[in-house]
């Protein structure tokens, strides 16, 4: 589909480039050629229009604007008005080219999902490990997954423990600890330990394949908006024919009938929408917004709700140290140095965040820890300055026999209610403090949400995070409706339910897990800077530099674009009406009629161009 559109655009562009000088030569009769060069425009631009009209009539009896244009072309040629015929064909091809340019879209999202799916698996059979194509895995097979590998099918861990990056499927920014008896999903990534698992769901039943199906079904459900010229083409054709026939009966002048068909051609109507859309797309691109779907701005003007993903959308999607709480008179600097020394060889995202913070703010070199040990997904330990020290979660502290005081637990509970996570720190058998880590909210998000509410549009948060973190971040941003623990199918279900209630939704997200909702939403907008390729391909628009503060401008731009389109349509129809009256009375010839008529096209293009620099004051 995408390749066909590109080939069609290329053919039309070449036809227009060749036809323009041919029309100029034909109009001024330059060179004294025996044949009017406007025939080149008729052949290159007119023949495809005639072909489309015939195919539409024969296959589906589908009357579009092409039918009236074809009649005007044929009538002009029969009466010898070659330039008028070439001009009509040229103008209509410009409109068609612009329309294709605005609605063409690369459909690589589903392919990206397919490419992300692992093609091989490690299967244990008769005590030996075999590498087999994933299609050969059967339900009940025992698979081995090594650190860094993507899980091939859904299943249950039967041996080992690890941390799983579930962000591709759920959007959760923290890895989830898994051990024997826990389930794991295909498409998620094993971060640390090696483990064996039993295959429970294979093939089309696996999580990644269900994701592909969700994206496919959501894509099929999004309809295109039909151009006004085609929407009323049947009536335009009938009225044009009746006017031409009645005029010929009363005047007996075939030239008047031909002129009527010429001025009835919906050139300005065809140009009214795509030129405004192209100008608005140019405006959006200046503000760091890539519009991938031609009619997305038209749809955006009609939305009633904006649905945000959390991680990477209203937040930066990256853990940062937000605070260091020390007990027993230990300084923050000493606690940070101890934590950074212990976490120096850790690959866990929490440990990396601590190291990054220390590199930025630490005043001393990291201490070399000896007898280092790591418990996957729980914590690390080692000799720090000759003393056995620990850094990890509550489970890890309990395993090491370290008691957490009630006051400490109370402080941590308060921190977690604010949507943060913590690393406990202990020396010997005594807890000495903790480090607070959080996903930082974008500072502009509160103002963005407030401006969206001021336009009369509702807001919703759809996040895969737990209730505590989701509610905290959503309320802090000012979002009025919050849904937590959302899987991809939950987000998609919310979008579909809203659409069924005639509430058009604009979805903004960044992850693979957002792709079905982005594709299904009335308008989907992806965060381009940190967003996954699949989310970007599924979206209609992309915030290239993740500058979400441009959302209010985008919303008002879409409404201004619709005002411009409506003005274009009204002005072109009024001009058409005047030209038709003059054609019926015999004031206009076909050539002059075509020129006067196409003043509307110039006016439409000029008016649309004002959108390029428009911004609400």
Any idea which residues carry the catalytic annotation?
Answer: 309
User: Is 351 in contact with 435 (CB distance < 8 Å)?
Assistant: no
CA distances from 341 to 362, 371, 380, 391 (A): 11, 12, 10, 10
In DSSP terms, 390 is beta-bridged to 381, 426
CA dihedral 484, 215, 140, 152 (to 10 degrees): -90
Place of tokens 């081995």: 144
**Burial group, residue 181, by CB count within 10 angstroms (0-12, 13-18, 19+):** exposed
Q: Are 267 and 601 in contact (CB under 8 A)?
A: yes
Which DSSP string do the residues of 82-102 spell out, in sequence order? Answer: HHHHHHHHHHHHHHHHHHHHH
Using CA atoms, how far apart are residues 205 and 86, in angstroms rounded to an integer?
A: 57
What is the helix (H) or strand (E) element at residue 113, kind and residue range? helix 109-116
Q: What's the DSSP call for residue 403? A: B
- Compute the distance between CA of residue 276 and CA of residue 278 in angstroms, rounded to an integer: 5
Q: How many other CB atoms are there within 10 angstroms of residue 242's CB atom?
A: 11
Q: Cα angle at 61 between 59 and 62, to 5 degrees? A: 100
Output the CA angle 533-536-541, nearest 5 degrees: 160
**Cα–Cα distance between 198 and 284 in angstroms, integer?**
50
The residues, any chain, with a CB within 8 Å of residue 57's CB and separated by 6 or more, are 63, 67
Q: Which residue has the tokens 């992300």?
A: 116
- Please report how many Cα atoms fall inside a 13 Å half-sphere around the Cα of residue 299, on the Cβ side: 28
CA distances from 389 to 90, 347, 356, 418 (A): 79, 18, 20, 27
Cβ partners under 8 Å of residue 422, min gap 6: 393, 412, 415, 416, 434, 435, 436, 437
Cβ(19)–Cβ(40) below 8 Å? yes
SS3 content of the chain, % helix, strand, coil (to 5): 55, 20, 25
Q: Which residues contact 617 (CB under 8 A, 6 or more apart)?
A: none
Nearest to residue 321, comparing CAs of 452, 425, 217, 404?
Answer: 425
- Looking up tokens 């999607």, which residue turns up? 317
- Token reading at 3: 């390749």
Dist. CA 428–CA 430, nearest whole Å: 6
Q: 91 with 601: CB under 8 angstroms?
A: yes
C-alpha dihedral (278, 283, 285, 289), degrees to nearest 10: -100
Nearest CA-CA partner of 171 in 530, 442, 480, 472: 530
């Amino acid at each position: 589909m995408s390749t066909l559109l590109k080939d069609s655009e290329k053919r039309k562009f070449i036809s227009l480039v060749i036809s323009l000088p041919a029309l100029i030569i034909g109009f001024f009769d330059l060179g004294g050629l025996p044949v009017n060069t406007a025939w080149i425009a008729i052949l290159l631009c007119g023949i495809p229009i005639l072909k489309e009209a015939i195919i539409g009539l024969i296959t589906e009896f589908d009357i579009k604007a092409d039918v009236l244009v074809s009649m005007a072309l044929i009538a002009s040629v029969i009466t010898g008005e070659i330039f008028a015929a070439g001009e009509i064909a040229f103008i209509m091809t410009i409109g068609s080219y612009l329309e294709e340019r605005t609605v063409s879209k690369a459909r690589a999202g589903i392919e990206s999902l397919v490419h992300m799916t692992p093609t091989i698996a490690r299967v244990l059979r008769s005590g030996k490990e075999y590498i087999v194509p994933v299609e050969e895995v059967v339900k009940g097979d025992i698979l081995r997954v090594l650190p860094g590998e993507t899980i091939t099918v859904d299943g249950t861990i039967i041996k080992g423990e690890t941390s799983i990056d579930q962000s591709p499927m759920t959007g959760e920014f923290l890895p989830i600890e898994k051990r024997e008896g826990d389930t794991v999903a295909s498409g998620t990534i094993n971060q640390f330990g090696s483990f064996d698992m039993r295959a429970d769901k294979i093939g089309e039943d696996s999580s990644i394949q269900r994701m592909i199906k969700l994206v496919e079904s959501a894509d099929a459900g999004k309809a295109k908006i039909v151009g006004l010229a085609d929407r009323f083409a049947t009536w335009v054709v009938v009225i044009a024919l009746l006017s031409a026939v009645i005029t010929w009966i009363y005047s007996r002048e075939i030239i008047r009938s031909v002129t009527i068909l010429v001025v009835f051609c919906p050139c300005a109507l065809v140009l009214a929408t795509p030129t405004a859309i192209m100008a608005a797309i140019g405006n959006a691109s200046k503000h760091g917004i890539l519009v991938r779907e031609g009619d997305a701005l038209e749809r955006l003007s009609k939305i009633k709700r904006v649905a945000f993903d959390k991680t990477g959308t209203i937040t930066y999607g990256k853990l940062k140290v937000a605070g260091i709480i020390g007990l027993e008179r230990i300084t923050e600097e000493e606690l940070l140095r101890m934590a950074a020394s212990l976490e120096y060889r850790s690959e866990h995202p929490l440990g990396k965040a601590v190291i990054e913070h220390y590199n930025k703010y630490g005043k001393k070199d990291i201490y070399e820890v000896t007898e280092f040990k790591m418990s996957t997904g729980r914590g690390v330990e080692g000799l720090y300055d000759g003393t056995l020290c620990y850094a990890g979660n509550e489970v890890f502290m309990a395993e090491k026999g370290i008691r957490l005081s009630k006051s400490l637990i109370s402080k941590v509970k308060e921190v977690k209610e604010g949507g943060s996570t913590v690393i406990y720190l202990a020396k010997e058998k005594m807890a000495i403090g903790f480090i607070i880590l959080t996903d930082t909210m974008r500072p502009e998000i509160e103002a963005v949400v407030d401006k969206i509410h001021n336009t009369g549009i509702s807001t919703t948060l759809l996040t895969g995070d737990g209730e505590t973190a989701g509610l905290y971040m959503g309320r802090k941003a000012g979002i009025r409706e919050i849904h937590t623990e959302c899987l991809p199918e939950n987000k998609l279900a919310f979008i579909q339910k809203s659409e069924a209630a005639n509430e058009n939704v604009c979805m903004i997200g960044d992850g693979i897990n957002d792709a079905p909702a982005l594709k299904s939403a009335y308008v989907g907008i992806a965060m381009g800077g940190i967003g996954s390729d699949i989310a970007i391909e599924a979206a209609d628009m992309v915030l290239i530099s993740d500058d979400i503060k441009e959302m209010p401008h985008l919303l008002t731009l879409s409404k201004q674009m619709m005002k411009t389109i409506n003005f274009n349509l009204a002005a072109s129809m009024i001009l058409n009406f005047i030209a038709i009256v003059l054609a019926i009375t015999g004031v206009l010839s076909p050539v002059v009629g075509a020129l006067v008529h196409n003043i509307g096209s110039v006016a439409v293009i000029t008016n649309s161009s004002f959108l390029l620099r428009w911004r609400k004051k």
